[in-house]
Chains A and B, each alone.
Chain A
Amino acid sequence: MTRIEQNRVAIRQFLEDVWSKGNVEIAERIIDPNFQFILAFAHLDGRAAFMGLVERNRSIFENLTYSVESEEDIVADEKNGAAFWAMKSKHIGTWRNVPASNKDVAINGMTLFRFNEEGKIYEAKVQNDVMSLMNQIGGIKKLYDF
């Protein structure tokens, strides 16, 4: 397998095994211990902190599933990669101060990954449709209609 092919596999495992199944063994194989997980509203420093987030979110969002519909939705070079993904779940616990809505939720997003010399993911920057997620769980109040 070329490095690009390896990176594509790691991206899919990051979403479908680490996030969707909480698979710690795969996480330790594909993610660097000093991994940085960065969103518009949060920054997790280190693989252990990230795995804590995975565990928490998997308890707040029932049957949390991240999937990549097609190989066309993954783009990679030797050192970087990106994926367009879909998330599905049911919101059953408090998330960002919004109590459990028990609503089925679904959003899309994109993540940009960086790989080190060993081919492990050392950074992921996420842009997700948190606005839509907040709308689905009743987490925001609009002051105007738009």
Chain B
Amino acid sequence: MSIEANKAVVTRYWTDLWNKKDEKVIDEITHPDVKLHFPPGQAHQPPSFQVWLKTALIAFPNVHFTIHDLVAEGDKVVCRWSYTATNTGVFLGNPATNRDVTDQGINMFRIEDGKIAEMWMSGDSLGLLQQLGVIK
């Protein structure tokens, strides 16, 4: 796959999976045994994209991502992103705060045969949890 095709898969990850919230896209753009790597400090560490999307639709149903940068080389794509959302449902066992939040991060993707095979995430959990008032 070309670098441009790999970037297109990662773009679909944000626009079609997360912004359109289309669960079918998961099978289209990710391998069934996709490996997700979260930093130990990440607040929410879902076991799969399916669980992740379900949780997001409960806790932050209006979540909207913006892609700021895409850098690609070989089978890797790195994306810098941010999102805005409103916490209108249960998140991490806590009731809705109805607060508007923003988060930002950088993810690295490994693409194999046109689908996401591995993803390393780095987001701002500290900032998110401070905005939700869960930590001080």
- Chain A interface (Cβ within 8 Å of chain B)? 4, 40-41, 72-73, 75-77, 80-82, 84, 107-112, 125, 127-135, 140-146
Query: Is there an interface contact between B108 and A127, defined as CB atoms closer than 8 Å?
Result: no
**B71 is contacted by which of A40, A112, A134, A140 (Cβ under 8 Å)?**
A112
Query: Is there an interface contact between B122 and A82, defined as CB atoms closer than 8 Å?
Result: no
Query: Is there an interface contact between A75 and B77, defined as CB atoms closer than 8 Å?
Result: yes
Query: Is there an interface contact between B104 and A110, defined as CB atoms closer than 8 Å?
Result: no
Instruction: State how many angstroms separate the Cβ of A72 from the closest Cβ of chain B.
Output: 8
Q: A77-B73, A127-B123, A132-B41 are in contact. List 7 more A-B contacts (CB 8 A).
A: A40-B104, A81-B71, A110-B78, A129-B42, A140-B136, A143-B136, A146-B134
Instruction: State how many angstroms separate the Cβ of A66 from the closest Cβ of chain B.
Output: 14
Q: Which residues of A contact B92 (CB under 8 A)?
A: 144, 146
- Separation of A133 and B93 alpha carbons in the complex (Å): 23
- Separation of A124 and B26 alpha carbons in the complex (Å): 31
Looking at B28-36, B48-56, B124-132, the stretch in contact with chain A turns out to be B124-132
Q: Which residues of A contact B120 (CB under 8 A)?
A: 84, 110
Interface size on B, as a range, is 20 to 34
Query: Is there an interface contact between A129 and B77, defined as CB atoms closer than 8 Å?
Result: no
Query: Is there an interface contact between B124 and A140, defined as CB atoms closer than 8 Å?
Result: no
- Separation of A112 and B120 alpha carbons in the complex (Å): 14
Instruction: State how many angstroms separate the Cβ of A24 from the closest Cβ of chain B.
Output: 27
Query: Is there an interface contact between B41 and A75, defined as CB atoms closer than 8 Å?
Result: no
Query: Is there an interface contact between B73 and A144, defined as CB atoms closer than 8 Å?
Result: no
Q: Which residues of A contact B72 (CB under 8 A)?
A: 75, 77
Chain A interface, >50% SS class: mixed
Q: Which residues of A contact B134 (CB under 8 A)?
A: 142-144, 146
- Is B39 engaged at the interface, CB distance under 8 Å to the other chain? yes
Query: Is there an interface contact between A129 and B93, defined as CB atoms closer than 8 Å?
Result: no
Query: Is there an interface contact between A127 and B124, defined as CB atoms closer than 8 Å?
Result: yes
**A131 is contacted by which of B73, B129, B133 (Cβ under 8 Å)?**
B129
Instruction: State how many angstroms separate the Cβ of A110 from the closest Cβ of chain B.
Output: 4
Instruction: State how many angstroms separate the Cβ of A123 from the closest Cβ of chain B.
Output: 10
Which residues in window 17-34 of B have CB below 8 A to A? none
Instruction: State how many angstroms separate the Cβ of B42 from the closest Cβ of chain A.
Output: 7
Q: Which residues of B contact A84 (CB under 8 A)?
A: 108, 120
- Is B12 engaged at the interface, CB distance under 8 Å to the other chain? no
- Is B46 engaged at the interface, CB distance under 8 Å to the other chain? no
Query: Is there an interface contact between B106 and A144, defined as CB atoms closer than 8 Å?
Result: no
